[in-house]
Amino acid sequence: MAVLKSFVEVHPDSHFPIQNLPYGVFKPQPSSSPRPGVAIGDYVLDLSEVASAGLFDGPLLRNSDSFLQPNLNKFVSLGRPAWKEARATLQKLLSATEPTLRDNKELRQKALVPLSSVELLLPVVVGDYTDFFTSLHHTKNCGLIFRGPQTPVLDNWYRLPVAYHGRASSVVISGTDIVRPRGQAHPSGGSTPYFGPSLKLDFELEMATIVGPGNELGKPVDINNAEDHIFGLVLMNDWSARDIQAWEYIPLGPFLGKSFGTTISPWIVTLEALEPFASQAPKQDPPPLPYLTEKVSKSYDISLEAHIKPAGHEDSGVVTRTNLNHLYWTLTQQLAHHTINGCNLRPGDLLGTGTVSGPEPESRGCLLELTWNGQNALSVNGLNRKFLEDGDEVIITGYCKGSDYTIGFGTCSGKIVPAAP
């Protein structure tokens, strides 16, 4: 079958071919109101213009105002049949052989906006943010570093996807500066805690689920229906202050060491776009309990990289390369487990996968592991790094490489600025 092509020119290396069509929210001008869009090549297609022109003409979206909203919460709440209808409409509208938009100069000029000229915003209002801990390699390394060699991975980890409740208010869009947090820390062997700017500021390379339709309080999601509740994925950086974290986390878990900022990428890549890159999830031993046992156990082959760009440098240096398919617990197991006690999820909720570390030392997803808590410096563009310095920009990227096109996530970046005085 011929490969689907758009009339919008798309560079072969672009993350945003017609096969992707990730959803975001943008402002065409600083004074404009936010509106939903999909990325196509170097452009964003304004979905409020497409809707206003009456071009969503399928049965589910014909009279819908879901693209006349300042965020995607309403659209993601509609569920997979509406998402499929929107995707079919947009792929047809943007295809090389379809004249409706291609030959309508006026509409094209209104609806196709150069990406370089827009401001990208958070795609959804995130009501709740949860962070899982699903890489065995990350769990083992953190266990060794924080707790020593006795039992780096506790028995519960193999039985359930461990997580903590994160902080939604500090989830920010890619490009937002991150202020170095201040807090209490306790130097190892030291007798009294100190207060000041974190000396062990780190990134965590993660991906995150954007929840579609939620579930009613008291009604868990069945594991085999969990995929119906997943709209798509974004890149995520769970900034972490390791010195604050190590001192505060016993016995209740992460708090101020992580809640000062979490960055997500602007484009939500849908599960439909990722489907050609689905892979078999790793075998689980011991087998999970029935409520976590799924008919199809799916992961995705998504290559992930983190780069650091020190202040004043033109280029960034790569510090890790990993893949989403290293994770032990699947996205659907995470979601089903989250609701098994009756907890309700809502459209736009953000479920971080946890740090995506792979088995090789070069595939570790954070500096804590890469430098083994600052014992071994990493060389970045000729500079030594144990933890992040002021002015460092961390850039995460992710993509699935097919033979004819790339499905990419763009980038998720943030720069460290000095702590408050």
Query: Using CB under 6 A as the criterion, which residues of the chain lie in contact with ligand LGMQ2O6W when the complex forms?
Result: 131, 133, 138, 142-143, 146, 204, 206, 238, 240, 249, 254, 354-355
- Catalytic (active site) residue 337: no
Task: Pick one of Ca ion, ligand LGMQ2O6W, Mg ion, none as the site partner of residue 142 (Cβ within 5 to 8 A by kind).
Answer: ligand LGMQ2O6W
Query: Which residue's CB is nearer to Ca ion, number 74 or number 140?
Result: 140
Is 390 labelled as part of a ligand binding site?
Answer: no
At closest approach, how far in Å is the CB of 262 from Mg ion?
4
Query: How far apart (Å, rounded) are the C-alpha atoms in residues 229 and 215?
Result: 8
Q: Could you tell me the smallest distance in angstroms from the CB atom of residue 337 to ligand LGMQ2O6W?
A: 15
Rg (CA), the chain: 22
* Residue ranges in 287-346 that form contacts with Ca ion under rule CB under 5 A: none
- The rounded distance, in Å, linking the Cα atoms of 351 and 394 is 21
Tell me: does residue 202 bind Ca ion (CB under 5 A). Answer: no
Q: Which of 46, 128, 202, 238 binds Mg ion (CB under 5 A)?
A: 238
Task: Give me the 230-269 binding string for Ca ion, x by CB under 5 A, dash otherwise.
Answer: --------x-------------------------------
Minimal distance, residue 228 CB to Mg ion, in Å: 29
> Please, what is the minimum distance in Å from the beta carbon of residue 202 to Ca ion?
10
Would you say how long the chain is, in residues?
421
Catalytic one of 11, 15, 137, 138: 138
Using CA atoms in the order 14, 19, 25, 29, what is the torsion angle rounded to 10 degrees? 50
What does DSSP assign to residue 355? -
Residue 303: in which H helix or E strand, if any? strand 303-309
Taking the least distance from each CB to ligand LGMQ2O6W, the nearer of 130 and 215 is 130
Least gap, CB of 341 to ligand LGMQ2O6W (angstroms):
20
Among positions 258, 337, 364, 385, the unique one binding Mg ion when judged by CB under 5 A: 258
Closer residue to ligand LGMQ2O6W (CB): 44 or 142: 142
Partner interacting with residue 133 (select from Mg ion, Ca ion, ligand LGMQ2O6W, none; CB below 5-8 Å by kind): ligand LGMQ2O6W
Distance in angstroms (rounded) separating the CA atoms of residues 328 and 323: 12
CB 343 within 8 A of CB 320: no
Q: Tell me the sheet residues that pair with 25.
A: 36, 121
Is there a contact between 129 and 349 (Cβ–Cβ < 8 Å)?
A: yes
Site string for Ca ion, 119-148 (x = CB under 5 A): ------------x-----------------
Dist. CA 118–CA 29, nearest whole Å: 7
Query: Quick one: CA dihedral 314, 198, 265, 223, positive or negative?
Result: positive
Peptide bond into 251 cis (omega under 30): yes
Q: Pick the closest to residue 131 from 253, 224, 216 (CA basis).
A: 253
Token pair belonging to 3:
């490969």
What tokens were used for 24? 């975001």
Query: Which residues are part of a known binding site for Mg(2+)?
Result: 238, 258, 262
Mind telling me the catalytic residues?
138
